[in-house]
């Protein structure tokens, strides 16, 4: 019974941290007007929480498990997937996406990838039955609904001088401006979708791969977390710092942006620790991840509304229904996904 309560507490910790992650990261990105700089802060937070602290705890002894090459490789792979997912979220926000609909899309698509990855690792595609397909349809339906009825940003009114200049401009140039505006919106929409796909693919792979790495190291809690932190440091700190100048990053470092982005990285690292603790208490990817991916979008929406001081009445009921459908579909996909048992033997 103690293991059950411990697993539930760890799942709640992960759902809360990952649910708050997107809105907090959005503030950091806006403050620095950059995609790479907040990514660096996220990587540094992961390094502090997922490497330095666990190493200190390991030196004290008493941790079960042992280092294995297989466990290190799988755990590093999980860290790479987690960091690429964080990059995908940042790119989606940089392209103009809002966490109130970006994160539900990520959390809705990730369970599908999670289930398919689990089926591949366990060689249990034969267990994908009708309920799984029904959940997949719910996720797709909910995601489309969220995209169609997502909150629209209100355009700021033009100053009188600008309005007068527009009115006095030639009619043919106005038509060209409208066309350019539509093309830019379509371009940003595609960029957001591609970035969301990167995030959901990466975070969908994260759970099964991390579980495999932890199992290969004898159920250790801190060793896979250290590998994740090292992978984050390599991908989210060293690489972005090296690319700031070559890519001509136009953002700037600011204390506010650093604080928000580091807080987002801390939430991500604590959420990763919660996942590992849930696995250590006996949880499996098909039991832990449904609750995480089902609750995180709701927490994300409430956090976004609270931080942006947006009234609930400003949201379309169809948008809220879409989030609910995504959550139900994600939970259904993972609940009725493959369990990895061996097929029954024929007498």
Provide the token pair at 260: 């928000």
Say what the pLDDT of residue 20 is.
92
pTM: 0.77
The tens digit of pLDDT for each residue in 228-264 reads 999 999 999 999 999 998 888 889 999 999 999 999 9
Task: Identify the pLDDT of residue 159.
Answer: 47
Please give the pLDDT value at position 260. Answer: 95
- CA-CA distance, 266 to 268, in Å (whole number)? 5
In tens, the pLDDT along 97-149 reads: 888 888 888 887 887 888 788 778 878 777 777 887 787 788 778 777 877 77
CA distance 162 to 202: 44
User: Alpha carbon of 184 to those of 179, 187, 189, 225: distances in Å?
Assistant: 9, 5, 8, 41
The DSSP-derived string for 171-215 is HHHHHHHHHHHHHHHHHHHHHHHHHHHHHHHHHHHHHHHHHHHHH
Residues contacting residue 65 through CB under 8 Å, at least 6 positions apart? 217, 218, 219, 220, 221, 223
Are residues 303 and 25 in contact, defined by beta-carbon separation less than 8 angstroms? no
Contact 266, 45 (CB under 8 A): yes
Distance of alpha carbon 173 from alpha carbon 170, whole angstroms: 6
* pLDDT score recorded for residue 120: 84
Length of the chain in terms of residues written:
347
Confidence of residue 156 (pLDDT cuts 50, 70, 90): very low
Please provide the DSSP assignment of 11-33 as one string.
HHHHHHHHHHHHHHHHHHHHHHT
Q: What is the model's pLDDT at position 85?
A: 92
């Amino acid at each position: 019974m103690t293991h059950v309560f411990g697993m539930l507490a760890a799942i709640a910790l992960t759902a809360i941290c990952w649910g708050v992650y997107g809105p907090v990261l959005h503030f950091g990105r806006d403050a620095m007007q950059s995609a790479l700089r907040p990514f660096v802060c996220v990587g540094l937070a992961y390094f502090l929480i997922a490497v330095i602290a666990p190493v200190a705890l390991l030196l004290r002894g008493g941790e079960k498990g042992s280092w294995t090459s297989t466990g290190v490789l799988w755990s590093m792979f999980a860290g790479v997937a987690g960091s690429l997912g964080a990059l995908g979220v940042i790119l989606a926000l940089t392209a103009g996406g809002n966490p109130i609909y970006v994160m539900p899309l990520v959390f809705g698509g990730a369970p599908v990838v999670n289930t398919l990855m689990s089926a591949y690792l366990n060689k249990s595609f034969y267990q994908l039955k009708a309920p799984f397909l029904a959940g997949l349809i719910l996720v797709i339906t909910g995601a489309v609904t969220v995209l169609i009825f997502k909150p629209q940003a209100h355009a700021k009114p033009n100053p009188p001088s600008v309005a007068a200049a527009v009115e006095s401009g030639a009619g043919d140039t106005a038509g060209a401006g409208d066309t350019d505006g539509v093309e830019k919106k379509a371009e940003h929409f595609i960029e957001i979708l591609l970035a969301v796909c990167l995030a959901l693919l990466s975070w969908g792979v994260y759970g099964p791969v991390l579980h495999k790495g932890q199992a290969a190291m004898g159920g250790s809690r801190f060793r896979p977390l250290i590998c994740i932190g090292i992978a984050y440091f390599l991908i989210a700190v060293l690489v972005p710092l090296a690319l700031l100048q070559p890519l001509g990053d136009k953002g700037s470092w600011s204390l506010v942006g650093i604080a928000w982005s580091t807080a987002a990285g801390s939430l991500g690292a604590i959420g990763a620790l919660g996942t590992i603790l849930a696995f250590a208490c006996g949880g499996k990817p098909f039991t832990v991840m449904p609750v995480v991916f089902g609750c995180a979008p709701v927490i994300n929406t409430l956090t976004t509304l609270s931080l942006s001081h947006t009234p609930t009445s400003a949201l379309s009921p169809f948008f809220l229904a879409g989030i609910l459908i995504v959550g139900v579909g994600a939970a259904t996909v993972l609940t009725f996904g493959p369990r990895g048992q061996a097929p029954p033997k024929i007498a």
